[in-house]
Every structure is written in structure tokens, then in C-alpha cells.
Amino acid sequence: MTSTTTADPSDFRCFCDYPTVDVAHATSGPLAGMDFAVKDLFDVAGYPTGCGHPNWPGLDAPSLATAAVVTTLLEAGAAFGGKAVTDEIAYSLNGRNAHYGTPVNPAAPDRVPGGSSSGPAVATAAGLVDFAIGTDTGGSVRVPASYCGLFGIRPTHGRLALDGCMPLAPSYDTVGWFARTGAQLEAVGDVLLANDPHPPAPYCLVLTTALDLVEVRTRATIAAALRRVTRHFRRVFSVPDILLVEEDWSLTFRISQGAEIWTAMGPWVEDRKPEFGPGVRERMQWARSLLPDDVAFHRERRETIRSQLRARIGPDTVFVLPTTPAAAPLLTTRDEDLEDFRNKLIALTCMAGIGGLPQVTMPLGTAPNGAPVGLSLIGAPGADRTLLALAAAIDAERQAESRH
């Protein structure tokens, strides 16, 4: 591991406690000299895959093959830096794990790191690796990136293969990744999305209904971040009529996601009867209880919302919105309060999920409490590299300004 810090990895509790196995990688390539962590949902040959739960079958024996996305990175010269912890079966946005503990948020040690890609985010933010691979279903890359002060991406749904990765809700699941700079995030995208076009997107739509979800004391921070971002576009428009705060949107996401989660996890739950921690336990029970008619209604509703969203965003247009409604909650926050905050989060994160749209989050602000907050760009399907180029340009400008 070519870590960029002298810190002890155990200080951050972000890596899985597995015996070390050599994982070969190319000695040259576009990512040579960089190392990366892998969320413990992905198979890596010689390592078990625990998915955040001690009763997961993947712990019974080491994997025989390596997930496709991990193989691509190894072939590009990146070195494997370890498997990183995840929330239980990735069904959380907080970063707490009742079985393995909570990784330490390097940007705000008194606050949760966000999940479910908690370990990969923390390893990257702590400088233990150059970048990390996670998954994003309901916000599991975007949320910890915002909480830990990182760049992160949820690609267009279906763009990257999830072979060798635990399925959660397949119609929402995506590979995602973290980096500390926009250039690093783009460099990984150049490998994973190598053949994708990246035309400019000169038009920006600021989603004012999303801004209304931000806590009052953080709004000035988000406003300053918006000013930095919008000057990179030729024309900027305020859009008050995309009702992402409408209850139907987040409810539609949660029900359609929950039904898929029970389909994926039900056989394991019935067979092994695993114990779940707070939050995950209640969500799994709720997913199990969903009625077929409700699921069918919200699946149809999802297609309606997706059509509406895609009609509003073209290849030359980018939506801008806050990544989260506030900085990360304190570690002392009660479980029931975290659940309330999770529902507010989903009102923001469900948009890209329902639309199958790519989203990049950027660490462009600090809340009054000193913790980071993110601002996001959402693009049309297939506009992943356009968003990555924008994020890299915005970050380069910010770094140049800080040097003067």
C-alpha cells in the first residue's frame, strides 16, 4: 500500500480484518502508482466477502474470482490496498455497523462517516489509499463523500458491470468511487468509462426545491458553493417546478427499493435468520411486509417520474443541487433521529436513483459546525465523463485560488 499518510490504519477502523493475500496488478498503466480500497461487497480472489454481516455466506470461504470492476483497475496499474468495511448488507446511509463498529470520519471525528460505503470513504479521506471503490444504491457513495469531504460519483445506472458484487436492489445498484481531488476522480473515470464521450454541458439548472431542504444554518455555505459552480456554465436557470420534495418521490424510491432488497435478501434471511442492528432490522422487517399491489403501483410511478426527469435534462444540461441537507450527524445522535434524517437524505438522493442518472458530489463547503458538506451535479444518461470533467475543472480553479 502506498499510503499518503503516516497514520495507523487501525486508528480509523475502516479496513476489514482479513488475512493479507497478494493481489497482482499491472506494473504500468494510467493508474500506476496509485492504490485503492474495495468495499467488502466486491469479490477479490483469495479474500472472503462479508457484506458487513458475520452470517453472510461469503465469509464461509475465500472468493475464487475477482469482480470485473476491480480487475479493470488492477489491469490499469492500480494496487489493491485492502477490503474496506460496509454497513450491514449495505442497507444504511449512516456508517454505523452493529457488528463491526463505526469507522472514524477523518474530516469530522465526532460525526458519522456516512454509509453504506463507509470504509472506502474513510480510507480515502484519511489518505490511506488514493481512491476507493464502493456501491451506490440510495446514496451510499454520495452521502459518505459529502460527510467526509470527498469527491464521489454515482455513474449512469447500468454503465458499469456489477459482476462479483453483492446485489441489493439491482434496478438501483451502481458501482461508484471516491477520491480526494477532482483530477483523481476523473482519472479513475478515464479508465472505467474509457469509451464514453464527454461533450460540454453549457447549461445549468439550479433546483430551488432542493435548496429548500438544506438546514437553515448551512444555506449560506451552499449558496457560496453554488456561486463557484455556476460560473463554469454559459447560462444558469433556477428551476422551481421539479418537485423532488414531493412525498411520492422518496416513498416511491423506498418501496420499489425495499421490494427488490427483500427479493435479494429474503432467502438468506429465512435460511440463516441473521441478527440485524438498529435501523437495518426495522427496514428489513418493513421490506418483508410490503404488499404486492403497493409495490406494483410504485414501480409504475417510478417509470413516470423517470420519464419526467429525463425529459427535463439533455446532454447539454446539468442539474445542480445539495448532496445532503446538512453536515454529518453527530455520533451521539439517537438511532430514531438518524432514521428521520435518513428520510430527508433520500428526498435528495432518490432523484438520480429513480432517473438512472449520473451524479458527482464535490466537497465545496464547510458547515458552521466545521464539518464538510457537498454540492452535486446530475447529468443526462451517459454524461458521466462530462460531470467528471466539470468537477476536475471546478476543483482545479479552487486549488489555484488557494495558492494565491
| Catalytic annotation, residues | 39, 116, 140
Count CA within 13 A, CB hemisphere, residue 195: 2
Round to whole Å and give the CA distance between 266 and 261. Answer: 8
Round to whole Å and give the CA distance between 228 and 360. Answer: 15
Strand partners, 83: 38
Round to whole Å and give the CA distance between 154 and 383. Answer: 11
Strand partners, 179: 131, 151
Round to whole Å and give the CA distance between 43 and 315. Answer: 34
* DSSP conformation class of 171: T
Per 3-state DSSP, the chain is made up of helix, strand and coil in percentages (nearest 5) of: 40, 15, 45
CA-to-CA separations, 250 to 79, 135, 201, 258, 320, in angstroms, rounded: 38, 20, 28, 12, 19
Contact 215, 55 (CB under 8 A): no
